[in-house]
Chains A and B, each alone.
Chain A
């Protein structure tokens, strides 16, 4: 038990998370945008404006704007760091992995979650899981829209779906 009761805030707000929250990555405008999505959490009003630049099937860059809590902001910042350089398929797989971790799963052996690992504690705060996932499901929908030939997708965290 922590100083503050049965839950440990430090598990939710790890130093790495707070650092991403204070200095979010991926805020620079992209020179070119191939896919966009707007993510919204109707429960709390958090919003994510996501733009993705593609180089063929490879993600060249991610820009993420909007406003959200520390968890949502940090998660988006980590995403901006993690996904460039990956293929669309790899990024989509990462969304699914992170979703399953947030819903109680574990990182598959051999996976490289990077800083995202620091968000694992969020799964002990069920009401905050949607905050961590919002940027990722927005990315999923941006990529899906791009595959289908649309330029823009609308996402709400309610459509995140069961694990």
Chain B
């Protein structure tokens, strides 16, 4: 429907953009150029329609009614679970737990699997993690006295795998790593790392918040134990995330929340748990957003993740080239677009990212400026903040050109050299 044909190996981002109603609005009198997709993506008309359709035709609580609506809503909700399992190559849909977001999914693992850890155990993280994959482990370290270790990055923004190998030991009980950095764009060799981690008996947690929307991610092929991601970064609604886990491990874990849905039998002073995944889904879940999310998966499957990736590599390459041609910008992360996801963090040594973002905003260009929820990484890079442009399927070269034009204006405005061109 959206792509020229289902078999097409590429797509026209401008045709896609027409299916995202918000992209036709203006900001400060300019066309909205939305380049903050790593924070959240916009939603296509199909998702918006699916949301409205859910509430107008299907709305009922799930797993607890015998009437037709309840049955249909339950079927639609469970259909999403199977679709998500298929999308990320999880063999068993019982391993797909619906959460509020990637953050909640990571907290669930840290808290529930973390109960098995004690003093002397280590959790191995990296210097490039998002706060969502740092803070839950810091909390665990405080509660259970486990030690945190961190794989450093090199000056190209890649993980130092030699040090990773050295840090792995029988004390390493968990390795938690992002598949793609939200600041550097670095794509990490997660499968390789998971294999090494398994050899020392560690459980592997992958933060897929950035990778799953932009790369083909196959849970089984990665060889990890847990994978967390959010629907809102992949054209779906906010308030919905996923923890995909190996069912054997999920069976061993304790639920975090008690209440309806997650129980099998309750007496006044006793309760037993439902099967997975339900034992982790206490209370009424986010049914409407989960049901509507299938429309986002339809879109990505129709385009094909290979085509999505090719488009983003092409656009990122173009952005890297245009930004380099401005001269004098610091560009973080791997130089080569094929080694990174569709985002570029940059800084002008003479203009603070905040000021850049404000000026870009007056051009209708939305970028993120700040620490991107990665304060330790900012410290490692030696910068207080960066500006970040991040791409999606509906961005095209014109958007990069608007960004560059805005940056030129910012430099002229602040009287920074190189602005004359």
Given contacts A7-B28, A47-B384, A69-B352, contact A125 B358 (CB under 8 A): yes
The complex places the Cα of A5 from the Cα of B384 at a distance, in Å, of 30
Please encode chain A, from 33 to 73, with 1 for each CB lying within 8 Å of some chain B CB and 0 for all others.
00000000001111100000000000000000001111101
Residues of B within 8 A of A131 (CB): 354
- A contacts, CB < 8 Å to B: 1, 4-7, 9, 12-13, 18, 43-47, 67-71, 73, 125, 128, 131
Residues of A within 8 A of B341 (CB): none
Residues in chain B within 8 A of chain A (CB atoms): 27-30, 351-355, 358-359, 362-364, 369-371, 375, 378, 384-385, 409, 413-415
Is the beta-carbon distance between A45 and B358 smaller than 8 angstroms?
no
Given A9-B362, A44-B385, A128-B358, A4 and B28 touching (CB < 8 A)? yes
Chain A residues contacting B364 (CB-CB under 8 Å) are 5
Can you report 26 A-B residue pairs in the complex whose CB atoms are below 8 A from each other? A1-B29, A4-B28, A5-B28, A5-B30, A5-B363, A6-B28, A6-B29, A7-B28, A9-B359, A9-B413, A12-B358, A13-B413, A43-B370, A44-B369, A45-B384, A46-B354, A46-B384, A47-B384, A67-B352, A68-B352, A68-B384, A69-B353, A70-B414, A71-B354, A71-B355, A73-B352
Majority SS at the chain B contact face: mixed
Which residue of B27, B30, B363, B375 contacts A45 across the interface (Cβ within 8 Å)?
A: B375
In the assembled complex, which residues on chain A have CB atoms less than 8 Å from the CB atom of B413?
A: 9, 13
In the complex, A7→B27 CA distance in Å? 10
**For residue A7, which residues in chain B have a CB less than 8 angstroms away from its CB?**
28, 362
Q: In the complex, are the beta carbons of B371 and A44 less than 8 A apart?
A: yes
From residue B416, how far is it (CB to closest CB) to chain A in Å? 11
A46 to B352, CA, bound (A): 10
Which B residues are in CB contact (< 8 Å) with A73?
Answer: 352
Q: Told that A45-B384, A73-B352 touch, could you supply 17 new A-B pairs with CB distance under 8 A?
A: A4-B28, A5-B364, A7-B362, A12-B358, A13-B413, A44-B370, A44-B371, A45-B375, A45-B385, A46-B384, A67-B352, A69-B355, A70-B351, A70-B352, A70-B355, A128-B358, A131-B354
